[in-house]
Amino acid sequence: MGNTHKPIRIALGSDHAGFELKEWLKTKLLEAGYECHDFGTDSNQSCDYPDFSFAVAQAVVSGQCDTGIVICGTGVGSSIAANKVRGARCALCWNEYTARMARSHNDANILALGARVIGMELAWEIVKVWLETPFSGEERHRRRLEKISALESSDAALQEAKTLC
């Protein structure tokens, strides 16, 4: 009997600083059998990372894609933009350990990478760990994720902040 599993659908997005790394990772992912959906950019011409990070996050949260990878110069801006989409849990990872913990403990659904901070080979190692690591499902981690979801679905965080001021 053949493999009936659908390939994991990965949303990819980068700004100009991450373009070369995104294209290289896309080739590696396709060679490894993943399905890639590229949300841009399509050149190294200067552009704005929020446009592409937001599109990737929307694709992941909507279910169009199973996971996402966003790339800019440091990964910081892309992760901030992606996390503006309700339900996005974008984690900036700089080594295999942070990728493993982001998936295992935080059930992160989008990976942010800094093209000017890490090399291509390290980025590929991070991506492989990211894709191979499942969420642990441990009660303490589920509880924390439920708290994050509650913060997203209400203005509880704003009300709490007002009482602290």
Active site residues: 72, 105
Alpha carbons 70 and 114: distance in angstroms, whole number: 9
Question: What HEC string does 20-56 produce?
Answer: HHHHHHHHHHHHCCCEEEECCCCCCCCCCHHHHHHHH
**E strand residue ranges, the chain:** 9-14, 35-38, 67-72, 90-92, 110-114
Q: How far apart are CA 13 and CA 38, in angstroms?
A: 6
Residue type, 138: E
